[in-house]
Amino acid sequence: MKISHIEHLGIAVKSIEEARPYYENVLGLTCYNIEVVEDQKVKTAFFKCGDTKIELLEPTCEESTIAKFIEKKGMGIHHIAFAVEDGVAHALAEAEGKGIQLIDKAPRKGAESLNIAFLHPKSTQGVLTELCEK
């Protein structure tokens, strides 16, 4: 696969409202989009930081994987998302061929209408990894 850059870092927070002043008032970043992704049961807030974005993830219910993550590990970095130039479907097939366990067998729509797919942290050295393309 061909990765161009880190598209975003996903950070689990209990409350976007409470986390936002840190990113805006201390780091000086600007929140340019807040969006609920229903099928992932998360509310997301995006901040631009050069070519990379910070994606805050707030659970919308207790069954959300983000709620479970926070319960287990506390708030903090949840995943790293790489932009792939040659397509998520292609990257997934390549990763699977190299023995990587996939969470998503096929690309799906994530926040900001990107095609996304996740690789399982069990086979990515402990880091939940997202691949995405425009």
Q: Which two tokens stand for residue 44?
A: 């997301």
Q: Which is nearer to Zn ion, 81 or 83 (CB)?
A: 81
Distance, in Å, from the CA atom of 36 to the CA atom of 39, rounded to the nearest integer, reads: 9
Complex with Zn ion: residue 58 or 130, whichever CB lies closer: 130
List the beta bridge partners of residue 83.
5, 132
Instruction: Tell me whether residue 27 or residue 77 sits nearer to Zn ion (CB atom).
Output: 77
Contact 121, 103 (CB under 8 A): no
CA distance 101 to 117: 12
For 91, how many CA atoms within 13 A lie in the half-sphere containing its CB?
A: 24
Q: How far apart are CA 131 and CA 18, in angstroms?
A: 28
Compose the 73-112 pattern: x for residues touching Zn ion by CB under 5 A, - for all others.
--------x-------------------------------
Minimum distance from CB of 50 to Zn ion (Å)?
17
Find the part of the chain contacting Zn ion (CB under 5 A) among 11-19, 23-31, 59-67, 126-134: 126-134
- Across the strands, what pairs with 34? 45
3-state SS class at 111:
helix
Chain position whose Cβ is nearest to Zn ion: 10
Least separation in angstroms between CB 18 and Zn ion: 20
Q: Which is nearer to Zn ion, 130 or 133 (CB)?
A: 130
Considering only residues 8 to 27 of the shown chain, the ones binding Zn ion according to CB under 5 A are 10
Q: Which residues bind Zn ion (CB under 5 A)?
A: 10, 81, 130
